[in-house]
């Protein structure tokens, strides 16, 4: 009978389910962050190039 009680308690325990939820949520947030990074990467690179060109021109003048 102790085995059945142990199984019943194991099925009722939700600690593992909460951990899985947090892992999935964290993975989704990281994935969204990577997608956003790939979207804005080109614009940031262009802006950095423009700033570099402006500073280079200002120094040489």
Q: Where are the domains of the chain?
A: 2-60
pLDDT of residue 11 exceeding 90, the answer is no
Query: Three-state SS across the chain?
Result: CHHHHHHHHHHHCCHHHHHHHHHHHHHHHHHHHHHHHHHHHHHHHHHHHHHHHHHHHHHHC
* Mean pLDDT value of segment 2-25: 80
* Mean pLDDT value of segment 9-27: 82
* Mean pLDDT value of segment 34-47: 94
pLDDT, greater one: 55 or 17: 55
**What is the share, in percent, of the chain residues with pLDDT greater than 90?**
61
pLDDT of residue 24 exceeding 90, the answer is yes
- Predicted TM-score (pTM) of the model is 0.56
């Amino acid at each position: 009978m102790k085995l059945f009680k142990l199984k019943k308690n194991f099925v009722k325990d939700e600690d593992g389910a909460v951990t899985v939820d947090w892992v999935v949520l964290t993975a989704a947030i990281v994935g969204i962050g990577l997608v956003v990074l790939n979207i804005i990467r080109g614009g940031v690179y262009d802006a950095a190039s423009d700033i570099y060109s402006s500073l280079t021109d200002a120094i040489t003048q």
